[in-house]
Amino acid sequence: MYVVAMTMKSRGFMLKDTNCIFNTRRLHYINKILSFIFMIICSILNVICGYISIFNLMFSILIIHSELNKNVCKALIAAEYVDVEVKMAENFQMGKSNKTPEFLKLNPLGKVPALETPEGPIFESNAIARYVARLKPENTLFGSSPIEYGQIEQWIDFSALELDANMRAWVFPRLGYATYIKSAEESYISGVKRGLGALNTHLASRTFLVGDSVTLADIIMTCNLVNGFKFLFTKSFTSEFPHVERYFWTMVNQPNFSKIIKRMGEVKQAEVVLPFTSTKKPESKPKSEPKKEEAPKPKPEPEAAPEEEEAPKPKAKNPLDLLPPSPMVLDDWKRLYSNTKTNFREVAIKGFWDMYDPEGYSLWFCNYKYNDENTVSFVTMNKVGGFLQRMDLARKYAFGKMLIIGNEPPFKVKGLWLFRGTEIPKFVMDECYDMELYEWTKVDLSDEAQKERVNQMIEDFEPFEGEALLDAKCFK
């Protein structure tokens, strides 16, 4: 542009030298006008180029690496609003794909989701959603003024830090991802309530968080609330927050939301707070109150070593070890089960009945009592996985098969267990709290239909009772 302006100027002098009607002053103005027009053209070209690069991105491939979850939905819903295609990575397996060197280049923490773009990766679900929302120039997801933009960002942070952080901390111990501590849970619940209280007040006179249409704040807030409504917020809990409840269902049912969210299964409000699947037993109350009269004993100084170490008490024998010996050796059965790869019926199942000793062992069917709650496949699988982990204490005395049944939620959980002894061992009943979540029925060996059911459960027969298996887990 500078070169052009100079050329204009020198041309101006030339015209004066040839005594043309233009005088120098006039030429000066013309030069200025031409330079100005040139600048305008450059700016327009710049804007067009910017648009072209955004359009390029809009039509280029964006891939989200993750399984579908509420965090992924944020970007997918934003994509619906701005008409951008975001693909899900094929065959992504949580726990495997996110540990690969390729994934760690997208997100060094190995956490999902991560977005692959032609310009480089982005992680953190809110950042991904912001990026996608920006791909269409002139859209209202960021509001229509600086103040609206500020408020949208305010609610995005609020939903992440005041609500999502507390909801995650509340639900994680229940999913078995963290240790349950009663007092900590109480403080997370009160954090959620405080956040929902403020949100409720804000929404009392509004349909959307900011302005008169859906913004990115509504997308992120709603996605963050999904797991709360599914797993934690019962009707009686949300009755304190009626405007949040109305807002949530209004948003979830917006076509661009429901199209994406329903891919995770139907959103149904929790009837009970998600029961525990933690690997640690919830803190139980002390059995008896400490005696009030007794003066508290002074704590020994940590440095002071006991004068003489007490001899370790011999470990009490498990009553099952005192049972009369059985010709059935549990480990032999477990080995046969694991090593049989073909002809399972003829080899493993036949072998099982050949070695089965009804005097030394018993077989039990179990049926999960709360199948209605099994609305999310991975949560149901985690629940069963947690149960099997907690059965570790019975490994020497038990073998089990757990089936997660159905193509669609609610999934049914049914199982078969072989226990040492003719009853379910008392220590298992006492120490594994999942046991009471199931109905237990002793297998009647005189009933051929029940024996066939045992066979089918051992061999993961499909369809099982007319339905596909979502998963089959073995305890051995």
Ligand X SMILES: N[C@@H](CCC(=O)N[C@@H](CS)C(=O)NCC(=O)O)C(=O)O
Q: Give the interface with ligand X as residue ranges (CB under 6 A).
A: 69, 71, 110-113, 124-125
The DSSP symbol for 137 reads S
C-beta of 95 vs 327, nearer to ligand X: 95
Helix (H) or strand (E) holding 121: strand 120-123
Q: How far is the CB of 283 from ligand X (least distance, A)?
A: 25
Q: How far is the CB of 126 from ligand X (least distance, A)?
A: 6
C-beta of 77 vs 112, nearer to ligand X: 112
Q: How far is the CB of 154 from ligand X (least distance, A)?
A: 18
Q: How far is the CB of 253 from ligand X (least distance, A)?
A: 24
Q: How far is the CB of 379 from ligand X (least distance, A)?
A: 13
Q: How far is the CB of 72 from ligand X (least distance, A)?
A: 9
C-beta of 74 vs 383, nearer to ligand X: 74
C-beta of 133 vs 391, nearer to ligand X: 133
Q: Which two tokens stand for residue 374?
A: 């099994």
C-beta of 114 vs 366, nearer to ligand X: 114
C-beta of 124 vs 471, nearer to ligand X: 124
* CA 124 to each of CA 53, 88, 151, 157: distance values in angstroms, whole numbers, following the listed order: 24, 16, 20, 13
Cis peptide before 463 (omega within 30 of 0): yes
Contacts of 102 (CB under 8 A, 6+ apart): none
- The answer to whether 400 and 471 are in contact (CB under 8 A) is no
C-beta of 12 vs 173, nearer to ligand X: 173
The DSSP symbol for 180 reads -
Q: Whose structure tokens read 């900011």? A: 210
Q: How far is the CB of 71 from ligand X (least distance, A)?
A: 5
* CA 463 to each of CA 158, 265, 456: distance values in angstroms, whole numbers, following the listed order: 47, 22, 10
C-beta of 131 vs 464, nearer to ligand X: 131
Q: How far is the CB of 84 from ligand X (least distance, A)?
A: 19
Q: How far is the CB of 183 from ligand X (least distance, A)?
A: 24
Q: Phi-psi category of 64—alpha, beta or left, where left has phi over 0 and alpha has psi -120 to 50?
A: beta
How far is residue 189's CA from residue 381's CA, in Å, rounded to a whole number?
25
Write b or e for each residue in 216-238: b if 16 or more Cβ atoms lie within 10 A of its Cβ, otherwise e: bbbbbbbbbbbbbbbbbbeeebb
Look at residue 405 and give its three-state secondary structure: strand
Look at residue 299 and give its three-state secondary structure: coil
C-beta of 168 vs 473, nearer to ligand X: 168
Q: How far is the CB of 68 from ligand X (least distance, A)?
A: 11
- The answer to whether 246 and 147 are in contact (CB under 8 A) is no
How far is residue 443's CA from residue 447's CA, in Å, rounded to a whole number?
8
Q: Which two tokens stand for residue 123?
A: 């992680």
The DSSP symbol for 396 reads G
For the four alpha carbons of 195, 201, 206 and 207, in that order, the dihedral sign comes to positive
- The amino acid occupying position 146 is P
Q: How far is the CB of 136 from ligand X (least distance, A)?
A: 22
C-beta of 9 vs 111, nearer to ligand X: 111
Among candidate residues 431, 424, 427, 418, the one with its CA nearest the CA of residue 318 = 427
- The answer to whether 251 and 188 are in contact (CB under 8 A) is no
Q: Measure the CA angle with vertex 175, ends 169 and 176; round to 5°.
A: 95
C-beta of 124 vs 148, nearer to ligand X: 124
The DSSP symbol for 464 reads B
